[in-house]
Structure 1
Amino acid sequence: MNNELLTKTKMSEIVGWSEANGRRWVKHFKDCIPTVTSKNKVMYTSESLRIMMFLKKMNEAGLTIPEIKKIIDIEGIPKNEKEELRLIEKYRQDPIHNEFDEKIKGTIPSTGEMMIPYLEIIKDGEAYSASEITEELVEYFKLGEEQRLMKYENTSDIIFLSRVRSVRYSLKKENYIEEVNKLTYKITNEGQELLNESSSEIKEEIEELEKVVDPLTIVKEKLTDLTNELADNLLKQLRNVHWVKFEDIVVELLTEMGYGDGQVTQRTNDEGLDGVIKEDKLGLDNIYVQAKRYAANNSVGRDVVQSFSGALDGKGARKGVFITTSYFTEGAKKYAERLESKKIILIDGIELSKLMVAHNVGVDINHTFVVKAIDYDYFKDE
């Protein structure tokens, strides 16, 4: 990459996103993407482009914007291609990790179990990045992929990362570690002294540390509750909108999610939808969409999904998205999973409403809360 300055449009084009999609990602990650001002215009550098490409790779690995934000909060922005590849492989999403499993959750170390190992990892007094410490904790506890990536039920929060964040907050608040740079930590004298205490004293202190709660954790839990309530109310609205409006909503959502330019291909009052998302400007690769606006108790069975699959064959298509405001039967899910010549994604009512909330379709911002943090670069010598 050279030192040429790029506009937001040009940068999006190089990355492979539409202008609208690129603008959306820049907006969400503006704190991570460097800018310069040239002739009174905001421009982007080769480093900006590298970070945008990294974000796209993370998205292609199955991660959503909120998930990527949480990972960056824990790990920071990778400094080179090697670090990028490590993070992409570490957090790459596999369907197996999307299903909550109580047994797997029980094998993930608790915050109390991680307190002392966290300090042991940095006891030499050197500064360590958050990602380095997290990786060492994974090695220390011999965690597999399922343990590292398992999410809490009905949320996008990764259990292990959430607990690491809580450990870090507690140790920092009680002055056992200090943040010497953004997402970079070292042990304090108090931390060293704690490691030298007797096992009984360490146990007592860990019990106290576990009581320390990050205010952000409480805020996020309440926001999750509000989001779930909003999604429930949104789903009720979806089940009552006119079928024409429903068609427009579904296509708008998929377009906002960055899959390309969408359009409704026909208007027939059958409470279904035939839409197409053009993944490129020439329409060389299309995603076909069908939706069923059903009541909550009216399921979509295997026969309906199989019929949609046949319609895709008629168009010579390999990609399809089937959306319903109700739910899919197990037979329908298994049929879609076993397809080999094409890929059909099934989105039920609950997921549909949550996607609309996440991508600001059909919702307005009610309140905005800003949480500020130290700008470590501000205090550096010129």
Structure 2
Amino acid sequence: MSVQKLSSSSVPTFHAMLIPTLVGLKNLGGSGTVQEIYEQVVQILNLPDEILEIPHGKTSTSEVEYRLGWSRTYLRKYGLLENSARGVWSLLSIADDFEHLEPKEIVKVVQKAEKSKVDASDRMIETMEESTEELEWQDQLHGMLLNLEPAAFERLVQRLLRESGFIQVQITGKSGDGGIDGVGIARINGFLSFHVLFQCKRYQGSVTAGQIRDFRGAMQGRTDKGLFVTTGTFTRDAVKEATRDGAPPIDLIDGEQLVQRLKELRLGVKITMIEAVEIDTAWFEKI
């Protein structure tokens, strides 16, 4: 089956992801990050890797992630979810009994509420412009990462780890080292510390479970913790392998998470705040 056919007929609509999103959050104990919600919904809907890898247009975001974002937005506007500034989504008390909810009813109520605030066509244009602006900087940054030389990408990851609190971060990558590119020491609250080996993979594809196993093999006897950073994505089996019971854990950072982390740390990203001036008419009336 071609990617085009898969993208048009096999990717679940955001309507179909509404209830699975609620179920996933319930499974997570009532709250979770975007990534945790994504993993839950993928498992609930049993989505294969070929569906998960379908991109949304020419962006670095997958079609599943894009539609799941709309699902979260509709559930928030319906009053079932809330999200914090730290990117954590949680169920509201009203969502305790959601089994009886109909996705079509949720969509209908939210769209009706939106129409009462602003003309539907204007609102759609505004939303599309906001989404486009958000995607533009993400895609531009992702493209720049892909164009970096391998050594430059390794230096970027080294800087990223240092800015994130790691110490003694060194690039050690050399042939025959099992893909290990560097080592650092992660410190927790200034008291606890542990050695971390990391691997950097700068490409657009998906890291497989086999590559995670190879990395873990190279880690054996040298550390109990690994970090795998890529500009691409991880297959579902790779994610499972990274957290497999009985094996040294490996933390994963994909392209989307890497872009967001660079933004948070202001590494290669400048954020311009727009000043809004509002006249306080009530203040003048008191003169």
For the pair 1:239 / 2:239, whether they are aligned, the reply is: no
The aligned residue for residue 116 of structure 2 is 211
Runs of 4+ in structure 1 off by over 6 angstroms are 101-104, 215-221, 269-272, 372-375
- Asked whether the 8 Å contact 2:231–2:255 carries over to 1, the reply is yes
Q: Aligned letter for 2:186?
A: K
Matched, 1:254 2:156: no
Q: 1:94 to 1:105 in 2, by over 3 A?
A: closer
1-structure distance, mates of 2:219, 2:172: 15
Relative distance call for 1:142 and 1:265 in structure 2 (3 A) is same
Give the AA of the match of 1:138. Answer: L
Determine if contact 1:279/1:286 at 8 Å carries over to the other structure: no
Q: State whether structure 2 residue 241 is matched by structure 1 residue 332.
A: no
* Offset at residue 252 of structure 1 (A): 2.0
Provide Cα deviations, 1:122-141, integer angstroms capped at 9, x if missing partner: xxxxxxxxxxxxxxx93345
Matched residue count: 203
Q: Which residue of 2 aligns with 1:309?
A: 216
Change (3 A) 1:141 1:230: closer
Paired residue type of 2:259:
S
Note if contact 1:301-1:329 (Cα within 8 Å) is conserved in structure 2: yes
Normalised by the size of structure 2, how large is the TM-score?
Answer: 0.52
Give unpaired runs (5+ residues) of structure 2: 1-28, 43-66, 80-90, 281-287
How far did 1:282 drift? Answer: 7.6
Whole-angstrom distance in 2 between the partners of 1:279 and 1:344: 17
Encode CA deviations 1:158-201: one digit per residue, 9 max, x unaligned: xx9xx9xxx9xxxxxxxxxxxxxxxxxxxxxxxxxxxxxxxxxx
Distance 1:269 1:235, change over 3 A: farther
Please report how far the alpha carbon of residue 371 of structure 1 lies from its aligned counterpart in structure 2 after TM superposition: 5.2
Secondary structure of the 2:172 match is coil
Q: How does 1:85-234 map to 2 (within 5 A)?
A: 91-93=31-33, 96-99=36-39, 105=71, 111=77, 138-143=92-97, 207=112, 210-213=115-118, 222-234=129-141
Partner of residue 351 from structure 1, selected from 257, 262, 272: 257
Match of 2:207 among 281, 300, 310: 300
Q: What RMSD over aligned residues (CA atoms) do the two structures have, in Å?
A: 4.6
Q: 2:274 aligned to 369, 373, 376, which one?
A: 369
Q: Identify the residue that residue 289 of structure 1 maps to in structure 2.
A: 198
Q: Which has the higher contact order (CA 8 A, sep 6+)?
A: 2
**Local SS of the residue matching 1:239:** helix
Inter-CA distance 94–328: structure 2 relative to 1 (3 Å threshold): closer
- For 2:247 and 2:75, the matched residues in 1 are separated by 41
Residues 335 and 374 of structure 1, relative CA distance in 2, 3 Å threshold: farther
Task: Give how far 1:322 is off.
Answer: 0.4
Distance 1:94 1:312 in 2: 29
Alpha-carbon separation, structure 2, partners of 1:316 and 1:243: 24
- Residues 265-294 of structure 1 show CA distances to partners (whole Å, capped at 9, x for unaligned) of 425379862232431568732332111123
Cα 1:301–1:343, aligned 2, differ >3 Å: closer, same or farther?
same
Q: Which deviations, in whole Å up to 9, do the C-alpha atoms of 1:219-273 show, x marking residues without a partner?
A: 78745432322222222222222222211211222343x3433612425379862
The one-letter code sitting in structure 1 at the alignment partner of 2:217 is G
Percent identity over the alignment is 25
TM-superposed CA distance for 1:306, in Å, is 0.8
Q: Taking structure 1 as the reference length, what is the TM-score of the superposition?
A: 0.41
Q: CA deviation at 1:307?
A: 1.7
On the 8 A contact 1:277/1:287 being kept in 2, the answer is yes
